[in-house]
Amino acid sequence: MGDGTTKNTAAFAAAIAACHRAGGGHVIVPAGTFLTGAIHLLSNVDLHVGTGATVLFSQDLPPQMIQPFASDTVLLEGVTVINSPFWHLNPNLCRNVTVDGLTIRSSGPNTDGCDPESCDGVVVQNVTYDTGDDCMAIKAGRDTDGRRVNVPCQSVVIQNCDFADGHGGITIGSEMTGGVKNVYARDLTMNSANLAAGHRIKTNTLRGGYVLNTNVYRVKAGTVGGPLLLIQGTYNNQTGNFPPDVSNINLTDWTVGSCAGIWSITGASASDPVGTATLDRIAITTSTAANSAVNIANLVVEDVTVGGTPVTV
């Protein structure tokens, strides 16, 4: 029943099972508010939330809101997801994932917007973020369990997205033990004094793993509340025996009204620095904080200006 108070967990399960037995198809949620516990989809079954329909999850199950797991060919399209108790979207160990046309909104703690984890082939496009934690956070497992599974997150494209509040716009980590590589984020807008960083990488020697070849380009930013590039190699002050490898980090073709610093970079240690980070063709009207770089082997700054004045390392 769509009255917002009657639990429909069994009804969802029965409809999905019947659809699966019939070979697959659509399970359609009609207009109304349908209270439910966890919904588990099966192969070849699509959940369609109709016009005027709301799926209201019970507050006595607080995990990720939507987590496709170990699946091939996943489509999340055209819905609004709000007030998750944890990460909103978390495709995990999946291939060929498309996230298209979503609005993701929450101000609570740990409410990341979209966190593809140990996935291969991800397209995220036309998504609007306004979150209490990272907007996008690309992940690949954590610590001992991440080393056991040891599956990277790779070949990720993020395009035509809008970022408001969040700890980071395009974020990687801190769960990145299996490694993250080949990330392309383009044609983005960012605008919030509560957006703590444009491109954020967070790791430490407990996480290990690698972040290789990230590219965030063609960005129009009104206000960014922190630096455009934030690399935290000593994130959360956690230490271990697994120095991370972070290199080939690229910001290109940004137009920025105001930011609190252009770069803030801290490598894991002097013996394990960040490799190469490049900032190229970035025009900023006002930057309100100093830049800092510690434990990085090669910081390249080309055609970066603040108020028309060239910036050098």
Over residues 278-308, the pLDDT tens digits come to 999 999 999 999 999 999 999 999 999 999 9
Residue whose structure tokens are 């969802």: 12
Looking from the CA of 212 toward its CB, the CA atoms found within 13 Å total 12
Report the DSSP beta bridge partners of residue 246: 211
Return the pLDDT at 130. Answer: 98
Mean pLDDT value of segment 106-131: 97
The C-alpha atoms of residue 292 and residue 301 are separated, in whole angstroms, by: 13
Domain boundaries, the chain: 1-61, 65-310
* pTM attached to this predicted model: 0.95
pLDDT in tens, 14-26: 999 999 999 999 9
For the stretch 218-234, pLDDT in tens is 999 999 999 999 999 99
Span 202-207, average pLDDT: 98
**C-alpha–C-alpha distance, residues 283 and 45, integer Å:** 47
What percent of the chain stands above pLDDT 90?
97
Q: Quick check: 252 pLDDT over 90?
A: yes
Amino acid in the structure at residue 209 = G
Contacts of 18 by beta carbon, 8 Å cutoff, 6+ apart: none
- Residue 293, φ and ψ in degrees, nearest 5: -145, 120
Confidence bin at 96 (pLDDT 50/70/90): very high
- CATH of the domain spanning 65-310: 2.160.20.10
What pLDDT was estimated at residue 172?
98
Mean pLDDT of 175-189: 98
Report the pLDDT averaged over residues 130-159: 98
Q: Is the pLDDT of residue 262 over 80?
A: yes
Q: What's the CA gap between 191 and 193, in Å, rounded?
A: 7
Predicted pLDDT of residue 296: 98
The pLDDT, as a whole number, for residue 291 is 98
pLDDT tens string 48-69: 999 999 999 998 887 899 999 9
- Euclidean distance between CA atoms 130 and 292, whole angstroms: 28
Task: List Cα–Cα distances, 26 to 22, 30, 58, 80, 98, in angstroms.
Answer: 11, 12, 23, 19, 18
Across the chain, what does the average pLDDT equal? 97
pLDDT band at 200 (very low <50, low <70, confident <90, very high): very high
Flag whether pLDDT at 194 surpasses 80: yes
